[in-house]
Amino acid sequence: MPAKNALVAVNGQSAELRLRSGTMGPDVLDIGLLYNQTRMFTYDPGFTSTASCESKITYIDGDEGVLLHRGYPIEQLAEHGDFLEVCYLLLYGELPTAAQKKDFDYRVTHHTMVHEQMSRFFTGFRRDAHPMAVMCGCVGALSAFYHDSTDITDPHQRMVASLRMIAKMPTLAAMAYKYHIGQPFVYPKNDLDYASNFLRMCFAVPCEEYVVNPVLARAMDRIFILHADHEQNASTSTVRLAGSSGANPFACIAAGIACLWGPAHGGANEAALNMLTEIGTVDHIPEYIARAKDKNDPFRLMGFGHRVYKNYDPRAKIMQKTTHEVLGELGIKDDPLLEVAMELERIALTDEYFIEKKLYPNIDFYSGITLKALGFPTTMFTVLFALARTVGWIAQWNEMIEDPEQRIGRPRQLYTGEPRREYVRAPHR
Ligand code: CMC
């Protein structure tokens, strides 16, 4: 049945607002004309009831714990696909044929090197700088290098910029890591797949042969798939907002990286592992659960809760399986952190507070343990998230530019400051 319009009457003014229906999910009330018709804004800090755009890329049903990319369930993509296939799907809207996949892999692979001068940017940072600080700077710096792919009105240039970012992020992330630990940069190797190449750039050293473990490479690839896109989250909305002004694409992605860094968003994987380490042993868990429930204590159980999921995050389930696979492959039998994590999850899932507030483990709860087992320090966790989310940011950025309704994003406000007053020069000024 076609959606009906809604009549809003307020303070003697009325407006007819169009109801719009998507293919799935709640209808939206198009308030675009509200101000013109009533001279009123809507107020929704945190955007809990606001759809900021129309999108065909990712669908989430938070109540049911469903995540679809272009209609395909994340479980099926993670089980049967590889990361570059998911990248293709997000960018082009369909899964690639074998020939398209081969061509896409080739195109991404042959953009993996960064301009040699990029390495000088790294040396400008202190070695103890957080790798996310380095990534914000270095990805932003890409905008100073690739001038032949920044005409955002040209679809071909947009695709070249997109492939460049997907290809160069692993190289830059690995460079950030190598710089952090004082080892020489390792150049990409084009006969390796995306995840294997990344592991090699992170963990190889010039004095030894590095052999990629295929089980760990598959786990890395799956972690990338799980983080590839997640609808209009804070960093994606940041990329869209930055891009809405027509800004340089590389600079827009740097803006997304800056937003992702926060502990309420991508920084939660680092914070979750730090929390598990701080809890240390199972007998300390009740103390932390009590703190999480205490209104006067700012402490939160990191890796729990989500703005959209009010059910188990489907990515967390796959992540938990991957964690066991990685620990099994590495022969880590009694990892104390995993023990704490599993007990914490068990307690939280049966605790009234967490049940009532629908706080379930999210993807960051298990990803930290896996990444630590793979050999990454906690400071790199959010960098890996940024690497994987780059394709989502770019797909959403492209979609926004192609959207005929796209205009510069310009929210309004409820002003609560001083009303107009006159400037009076103080005698002493
Ligand atoms: N531990 C304890 N209490 C919590 C938690 C938590 N992790 N998360 C939410 N709550 C409580 C919160 O205190 C509030 O209680 P009340 O209604 O009594 O005031 C209620 O649950 C709702 O919380 P909220 O902050 O209003 O919810 P939100 O949608 O604004 O925040 C969130 C979502 C993810 C920021 C939040 O759950 C959180 O801070 N979680 C920990 C950080 C984390 O794991 N973030 C990763 C998110 S998934 C990856 C990504 O998308 O980046």
The DSSP string of 227-293 is: HS--SS-HHHHHHHHHHTTT--HHHHHHHHHHHHTSTTTTTHHHHHHHHHHHH-SGGGHHHHHHHHH
Q: Looking at ligand 1, which residue's alpha carbon is closest to its atom 24? A: 307
How much is the pLDDT for 2? 57
How much is the pLDDT for 13? 85
Q: Is 211 helix (H, G, I), strand (E, B) or coil?
A: coil
How much is the pLDDT for 14? 86
Split at pLDDT 50, 70, 90, the class of 220 is very high
Query: How far apart are alpha carbons 128 and 405 in whole angstroms?
Result: 45
Query: How far apart are alpha carbons 259 and 122 in whole angstroms?
Result: 21
The one catalytic residue in 294, 364, 403, 428 is: 364
Catalytic residue flag (residue 80): no
Q: Looking at ligand 1, which residue's alpha carbon is closest to its atom 31? A: 307
What is the per-residue pLDDT across 2-21, written as a single tens digit (0 to 9) for each? 557 889 888 888 889 999 99
What is the per-residue pLDDT across 108-146, written as a single tens digit (0 to 9) for each? 999 999 999 999 999 999 999 999 999 999 999 999 998
Between 332 and 243, where is the model more confident?
A: 243
- pLDDT of 45 higher than 90: yes
How much is the pLDDT for 358? 92
- For ligand 1, say whether the CB of 269 is within 6 Å of any of its atoms: no
- Neighbouring-strand partners of residue 9: 14
How much is the pLDDT for 1? 52
What would the mean pLDDT of 285-299 be, rounded to a whole number? Answer: 94
What would the mean pLDDT of 259-288 be, rounded to a whole number? Answer: 92
Mean of the per-residue pLDDT values for the chain?
Answer: 94
Catalytic residue flag (residue 364): yes
How much is the pLDDT for 149? 80
